[in-house]
Amino acid sequence: MAPYLFKRLGQSVLTVFLTISTVFVLIRMAPGDPAAAYAGPLATTEDLAKIRASFGLDRSVVEQYLLFLKGILTGDLGTSYSFRSPALDVVLERLPFTITLAVAAILITTVVSVPLGVWMARRADTTRELGANVVTIAGQSMPDFWSGIMLLTVFAVLIPVLPASGFATWGGLVLPALTVAILQIALISRLVRSEMAKNLTAPYLTVARSRGVSERALVWRYAMTNSSIPVVTALGTRFASMLNGVVVVEVVFAWPGVGSLVVRALETRDYPLIQATVLVTAALAVTVQLLVDLAYPLLDPRVRLGKKVSA
Amino acid sequence: MSTALLDVEDLQVELITAGGVVRAVDGVSFTIGEGETVTVIGESGSGKSTTAMAVLGLLPDDLAVLSGSVRFGDTDVIADPKALRGVRGRTVSLIPQDPMTALSPVHTIGRQLVEAVRLRKPDLAKHAAEARAVELLDLVHVPRSADQLGRYPHQLSGGMLQRVLIAIALAGEPRLLVADEPTSALDVTVQAGILGLLLELQESTGIGILMITHDLGVARLVSDRIHVMRDGRFVESGDVESVVDHPSHEYTRKLLSAVPVLGPWDEDDTAGGDR
C-alpha cells in the first residue's frame, strides 16, 4: 500500500506541475498585453514599460518561470494585477463558492441518478425505459448555457420563485446546481443502468434469488454494491472536474466562484491570478482523484486482498 | 415411493428469443421422493437446465412461458408463482453450475452464509447465526471453518466454493436440492469429492436431489432414476440399471457409446490383482 501511495502522490504532483507549466507558457504565447489591459487605451509607451517592469514582465520568460516556481515553494503566487492583492488569497476567497456549487451538484446527481439508473435497469427494454432513455440522452445533449438560461427563464422570470443570480441566499444555489447536475445525471444514470443491468443478470444474483433472498436485497445489497465501484469512480471524476470551476454556469448565474474568476482573469491578462487559479484547482482536482483511487480497495476486496487463491 | 417432494407434470417451457419462440421443454413429467436422486441427462441444448430453472421459477418472466404443473407438496408454483417465495431456500435449494461466479464477489463467505441462515430463522441472534454457519461449513467438510467466514469468494478454490455453496443451500434446511451440473466447472479430482459429499448428505438427511448433468459417469454414480432428455423431451426414463445396461432408445445408446471405455489391460490388471 505505501509504495503505491507514494507512486500515486508523485504522479499527482507531476500532473499539477505539468499543468501549471503548460498554462504558464500558453498564456504568454496568447495575444494580448497585461500592461495594456491594465493601463487602458490612453497609456503612453513609457507608462506601459513602467507597468511591465512593476509586473516583472520585463524579465525573460525563463526568469519569470523560475521566479514563479520559487514563489510556489514559498507560497507566494504573486499579486493579482486587477485585484491588487495576493493572487492566492483572491482564489481562496472564491474557492468555497465553487466547492459549495460542486457539492450541491454532485449530491443532486447522486440522489437522482442512482435510483433512476436502477429503475431503468429493472425495466430494461420496456417502453418506459425507452422513454427514460430519451430523456437522459436529451439531458446529455443539452448545452449547459442553454439549460441554465431555460431554468432561469422558467424559475426566475416566468415563475419568479428563485433568485436569478449571485449567492445571497441558499435559494440562489438551486438553479446553478441544477444546471450543472442535469448533464451529470444523464451521464451517471446511464452508467448506473448499464452496471446494474450487468449485475442483475449475473449468476450470483440468480443463485441468491434461488435461496429466497428478497428482491429488494437482491437489487440494493447485491447488485448495487457490486455496481458501486465504477459509479463511485465516475462520480469522483465528475466532482473533480467541477472543482476546476463550472465556467459557463458560473458566468450565466453570476456565481462568485473560481470559474467566473478565471474568465475575468483571462480578460484582463492577469497572469498571476490565472496561474494561481490553475494551480489551486488542479491540485484540488488531483487530490479528489487520488482519494477516489484510494477508495477502490475499500469497495472491492479483490483489489484490497489481491487475487491469490488457496483452498 | 412414499410422499413426492417434487411432482412435475407435463411441464412445458417456451422461450422467447430473437429468432422466435422456442419450445425448450416439451411436456416432461417426473417425481422425486424423499432420499431419492433423479437425474436428467442430455447434451447441451437438450432443455435439461431449462427444466431445472423452471422448477425453481428462475427463468425471466418476460422471456419464458411456463405451463403444466410443478408441485412441491401441495403447492403448485406454476399456478401460483408467488408461492415460490415460501418455497425457495426452504423447500428447495439450488447448487449452481459454476461456483466461481455464484457468490457475490464483494461480500464475505460469512455474510452470505449468515444471511441464508437468517432467511430461514429471522429471529436468530447474530452470534448464533454465525455459530450455525460454522456448523454448516463443518458439515460440508470445509477446513478451518471459522476462519473462512471472513474470507471473500476470490480467496477460495472452485472446489471449496462449491462446498460453501452447498452449505448455503443447506442453510434453509430444504428437503430437495436442485444440482445443475454441480461438478462440470470443477477439476476431475475435485468432482468426486463433491459428488461424495452430496451422497453423504443424502444418506444423513434424506434430502432429495434433482441432478442435471451431461456426464453419464456422474449419472450412473448418484442416480436412483434417470431421464434421458433430447430436444425438450424425455426419450427414455427408468432406473439406472435398466437405462444404462439395457438402453431401449437409439439416442441413449449413442450417449452410452460416447463414454470413453477403459482399455482391456486395465480390466485384466484388476481382475488378476494381488490376491
Across chain A, mean pLDDT equals: 88
Does the distance separating the beta carbons of B119 and A203 come in below 8 Å? no
Cα–Cα distance measured from residue B75 to residue B47, given in angstroms and rounded to the nearest whole number: 24
Tell whether A55 is covered by a domain: no
Tell whether A17 is covered by a domain: no
Lowest mean pLDDT among A47-51, A166-170, A227-231: A166-170
Task: Give the cell for residue B183.
Answer: 461438478
Confidence of residue A298 (pLDDT cuts 50, 70, 90): confident
Contact list, B154 vs chain A (CB under 8 Å): 301-302, 305, 307, 309
Task: Give the cell for residue B182.
Answer: 454441480
Phi, psi of B168 (to 5 degrees): -65, -40
Contact list, A213 vs chain B (CB under 8 Å): 89, 115, 119
Label residues A192-214 b or e (16+ Cβ within 10 Å = b): bbbbbbebbebebbbbbbbbbbe
Cα–Cα distance measured from residue B157 to residue B247, given in angstroms and rounded to the nearest whole number: 38
Q: How many residues does chain B have?
A: 275
pLDDT of A309 above 70: no
In A30-165, which residue ranges form alpha helices assigned H by DSSP? 34-39, 45-55, 61-74, 87-122, 127-141, 144-152
Of A23, A8, A15, residue with least CA distance to A285: A15
Give the model's pLDDT for residue B60.
84
Does the distance separating the beta carbons of B156 and A310 come in below 8 Å? yes
- The model's pLDDT over A58-107, given as tens digits with 9 standing for 90+, comes to 888 899 999 999 999 998 999 999 899 999 999 999 999 999 999 999 99
Tell whether A127 is covered by a domain: yes
CB-CB neighbours of B27 under 10 Å:
14
Hey, is the C-beta of A84 within 8 angstroms of any chain B C-beta?
no
Hey, is the C-beta of B201 within 8 angstroms of any chain A C-beta?
no
Residue B107 near residue A205, CB atoms below 8 Å? no
Does the distance separating the beta carbons of B58 and A209 come in below 8 Å? yes
Cα–Cα distance measured from residue B50 to residue B8, given in angstroms and rounded to the nearest whole number: 14
- The model's pLDDT over B83-118, given as tens digits with 9 standing for 90+, comes to 988 899 889 999 999 999 999 999 999 999 999 999
Burial class (CB within 10 angstroms; exposed 0-12, middle 13-18, buried 19+) of B170: buried
Cα A246-A251-A252 angle, rounded to 5 deg: 105
Tell whether A196 is covered by a domain: yes
Cα–Cα distance measured from residue B270 to residue B256, given in angstroms and rounded to the nearest whole number: 23
pLDDT of B81 above 50: yes
Residue B57 near residue B49, CB atoms below 8 Å? no
Does the distance separating the beta carbons of B101 and A202 come in below 8 Å? yes
Residue A167 belongs to a domain with what CATH number?
A: 1.10.3720.10
Tell whether A135 is covered by a domain: yes
Q: Reduced to 3 states, what is the DSSP secondary structure of residue A190? A: helix
Give the model's pLDDT for residue A307.
57
For the segment B52-73, the average pLDDT, to the nearest whole number, is: 90
Across chain B, mean pLDDT equals: 88
> Regarding the domain with residue range B1-91+175-260, which homologous superfamily does it belong to in the CATH classification?
P-loop containing nucleotide triphosphate hydrolases (3.40.50.300)
Contact list, B102 vs chain A (CB under 8 Å): 203-204, 207
Hey, is the C-beta of A308 within 8 angstroms of any chain B C-beta?
yes
CB-CB neighbours of A149 under 10 Å:
15
CB-CB neighbours of B69 under 10 Å:
15
Give the model's pLDDT for residue A274.
94
For the segment A218-227, the average pLDDT, to the nearest whole number, is: 92
Tell whether A186 is covered by a domain: yes
Interface probe for B, chosen from A122, A125, A201, A207 (most Cβ of B below 10 Å), is A207
Contact list, A309 vs chain B (CB under 8 Å): 154-157
Cα B31-B36-B40 angle, rounded to 5 deg: 60
Hey, is the C-beta of B258 within 8 angstroms of any chain A C-beta?
no
- The model's pLDDT over A152-206, given as tens digits with 9 standing for 90+, comes to 888 888 888 888 777 777 888 889 999 999 989 999 999 999 999 999 989 999 9
Rg (CA), chain A: 24
Hey, is the C-beta of B98 within 8 angstroms of any chain A C-beta?
yes
Confidence of residue B260 (pLDDT cuts 50, 70, 90): low
Does the distance separating the beta carbons of B155 and A210 come in below 8 Å? no
Q: Which of B105, B112, B155 sits opposite A310 (nearest CB)?
A: B155
CA distances from A4 to A7, A12, A289, B21 (A): 5, 12, 14, 54
Tell whether A287 is covered by a domain: no
Burial class (CB within 10 angstroms; exposed 0-12, middle 13-18, buried 19+) of B245: exposed
User: Any idea where the domains of chain B sit in the sequence?
Assistant: 1-91+175-260, 103-173
Residue with cell 446546481: A177
Q: Which of B88, B104, B169 sits opposite A226 (nearest CB)?
A: B104
Q: Which of B105, B159, B169 sits opposite A211 (nearest CB)?
A: B169
- The model's pLDDT over A14-41, given as tens digits with 9 standing for 90+, comes to 999 999 999 999 999 888 888 888 888 8
For the segment B162-177, the average pLDDT, to the nearest whole number, is: 93
> Which long-range contacts does B191-199 make (Cβ < 8 Å, 24+ apart)?
B191/B218, B193/B159, B194/B159, B194/B162, B194/B163, B194/B166, B195/B221, B195/B222, B197/B140, B197/B141, B197/B163, B197/B166, B198/B95, B198/B166, B198/B222
Q: Reduced to 3 states, what is the DSSP secondary structure of residue A126? A: coil
Give the model's pLDDT for residue B272.
41
Does the distance separating the beta carbons of A206 and B58 come in below 8 Å? yes
Number of domains in chain A: 1
Hey, is the C-beta of A295 within 8 angstroms of any chain B C-beta?
no
| Domain range for A164 | 97-268
Tell whether A160 is covered by a domain: yes
How close is the nearest chain B Cα to the Cα of A118, in Å?
A: 18
CA distances from B166 to B120, B160, B217 (A): 16, 10, 21
Residue A116 near residue A192, CB atoms below 8 Å? yes
Contact list, B111 vs chain A (CB under 8 Å): none
- Computed from CA positions of residues B231, B233, B239, B242, in that sequence, does the dihedral angle turn out positive or negative? negative
How close is the nearest chain A Cα to the Cα of B147, in Å?
A: 12
The secondary structure element, H or E, covering residue A244 is none
- Give the number of A-B residue pairs with CB atoms closer than 8 Å: 87
- DSSP single-letter state for residue A310: B
- Computed from CA positions of residues A217, B143, B172, B185, in that sequence, does the dihedral angle turn out positive or negative? positive
Does the distance separating the beta carbons of B88 and A210 come in below 8 Å? yes
- Computed from CA positions of residues A35, A40, A46, A47, in that sequence, does the dihedral angle turn out positive or negative? negative
Cα–Cα distance measured from residue B69 to residue B168, given in angstroms and rounded to the nearest whole number: 27
